Amino acid sequence: MGLTNDIVENWTARVETERQRTSPPDGFRPLPDIPAGRYIDPAHFELEKTAMWQKTWLYAAHIDQFPEPGSFVMWRHGSAPILIMRGDDGELRAFYNTCRHRGAPVVRSATGKAGAVLVCGYHGWSHDRQGKLRAVSDPRDWQDLDRNCRGLIAVRCERFGNWIFVCEKLDVEPLADFLAPVSRFLTHLPLMQLRLVNRREFDVNCNVKVLIENFLEAYHFKLLHPNTTERIFDNKGTSVHLWDNGHSMMLSPNRRKSWVDPGTVGMPEMAGSTAIERDYNPSYCFSPNLIVPIAPTGMPCVAMWPKTIRTSALEVLWFAPDWGGGERDPLWETRIANFDRIVDEDIQLAEPMQETIESRGFVGIPLNYQERRIYHWHEAVDRKIGAEQISPALRVTPSLRDEVE
Ligand code: FES
Ligand SMILES: [Fe+2]
């Protein structure tokens, strides 16, 4: 479907409605507070890790990181190191990087190109690039070892455009089904052609929800980003769209209609871009942790990862239409630095916030109308885990079902 003219008109009209309103719309009931324990209770953190993070599709890598058979990336945001590798047949697969003999790591580097066989450094079991066990050392010492059952254990690995997602739950729905509520609005864009321009990951000293929630609302722009996003977008007009599986979008109009980011002039544009990408900032959330604010010349995506209850990793990824041969446009340096500055403004608040949410002064979070994407995110997490698994004091009360489009 993509962004048809009807959808563009509808979304544009919704922004106008937002701009005009002087209160939440009739029928919108105040949301219950989000319990503080969801951020600070260690048992709840573990539950979310095992029953949500390790059971859902997560962005892991871009196709450009796997130029040839044997190219691999060690992905470290799952329950254990996961090896994503291009096979001899060109397919991408993901495996636990755990030798089926005594559990040693089969690959010891973060990224690279494996030879035709991957030899475990402990006793020399060798695997092919499809994860199969091909040979063991000293075969005379083994009886009845069925090599077919001793290959690396696979995790689910599927593609959306040029993006590679993994999921540790084997019987999860296909990636395409999981993403459908958001991807239906993106089919007009040539996502298959986007290249990876830049990738940077760094540690942040706060709970991952503090980070994720920060990217789900524009309420903080005035105070945290007075010279950046607040100048560019007219957040009075920001409209919020809630979709199934926890996905969502906020659409913010540019303050000036024909404004073009000076840092992008001359960069190739995605064919099929509409007024929504040109005159607005459509910031999609691929639940649970990937923020995708699309512009015709590409986008900075932010992925956020839980490490401990009070530490996270934040990855900033840039994707853009193919620029042909040669080096990327020198303007990219400024464009990347400008976005880093915005992210840094967020982090400057997020890190001290960890200390203050651990305070007895933090008892719960009231969310307003324009912050309701955050509540929607929490509702989806509880659905994924199964509300009955969550202690009653820490559950969120389903409240936004009727708003899901
Ligand atoms: S642990 Fe890998 S060969 Fe022994
Ligand atoms: Fe921000």
Q: What is the pLDDT of residues 214-254, one digit of tens each?
A: 999 999 999 999 998 999 999 999 999 999 999 999 999 99
How crowded is residue 324: how many other Cβ atoms within 10 Å of its Cβ? 6
246 and 376 Cβ atoms separated by less than 8 Å: yes
> Domain span at residue 111?
58-159
Structure tokens at 71: 């190219």
Mean pLDDT of 296-324: 96
How crowded is residue 340: how many other Cβ atoms within 10 Å of its Cβ? 14
Q: Quote the ligand 1 centre to 99 CA distance (angstroms).
A: 6
Residue 171 in any domain: the answer is no
Q: Give, for ligand 1, the residue of 102, 108, 150 to mutate: max count of ligand atoms closer than 8 Å to Cβ.
A: 102
What ligand has the least distance to the C-alpha of 118? Answer: 1
pLDDT number for residue 192: 82
Least confident of 150-159, 208-217, 259-268, 371-380: 259-268
* Number of structural domains in the chain: 2
Both 281 and 291 in one domain: the answer is yes
Both 193 and 66 in one domain: the answer is no
Both 233 and 254 in one domain: the answer is yes
**For ligand 1, is residue 102 a contact (CB within 6 Å)?**
yes
Residue 38 in any domain: the answer is yes
Residue 306 predicted with pLDDT over 90? yes
**For ligand 1, is residue 200 a contact (CB within 6 Å)?**
no
185 and 2 Cβ atoms separated by less than 8 Å: yes
**For ligand 1, is residue 301 a contact (CB within 6 Å)?**
no
**For ligand 1, is residue 120 a contact (CB within 6 Å)?**
yes
- Identity of the amino acid at 200: R
Which residue has the CA at smallest separation from atom 4 of ligand 1? 123
Strand-pair partners of 195: 320
Residues with Cβ within 8 Å of 203's Cβ and at least 6 positions away in sequence, in order, are 307, 311, 312, 313, 314
Residue 313 in any domain: the answer is yes
pLDDT-derived band at 282, boundaries 50, 70, 90: very high
Residue 170 in any domain: the answer is no
Residue 108 predicted with pLDDT over 80? yes
CATH of the domain at 75: 2.102.10.10
* Nearest to 272, CA basis, from 192, 193, 187, 161: 187
pLDDT one-digit tens code per residue, 15-64: 999 999 999 999 899 999 999 999 999 999 999 999 999 999 999 999 99
**For ligand 1, is residue 125 a contact (CB within 6 Å)?**
yes
Both 276 and 321 in one domain: the answer is yes
CATH of the domain at 51: 3.90.380.10
Both 307 and 271 in one domain: the answer is yes
Which residue has the CA at smallest separation from atom 3 of ligand 1? 123
Residue 195 in any domain: the answer is yes
165 and 59 Cβ atoms separated by less than 8 Å: yes
**For ligand 1, is residue 99 a contact (CB within 6 Å)?**
yes
Q: Quote the ligand 1 centre to 92 CA distance (angstroms).
A: 24
pLDDT one-digit tens code per residue, 64-100: 999 999 999 999 999 999 999 999 999 999 999 999 9
Structure tokens at 113: 């190109």
**For ligand 1, is residue 136 a contact (CB within 6 Å)?**
no
Both 244 and 368 in one domain: the answer is yes
59 and 286 Cβ atoms separated by less than 8 Å: yes
Both 326 and 366 in one domain: the answer is yes
Which residue has the CA at smallest separation from atom 1 of ligand 1? 102
What is the C-alpha to C-alpha distance for residues 150 and 162, in angstroms, rounded to an integer?
Answer: 31
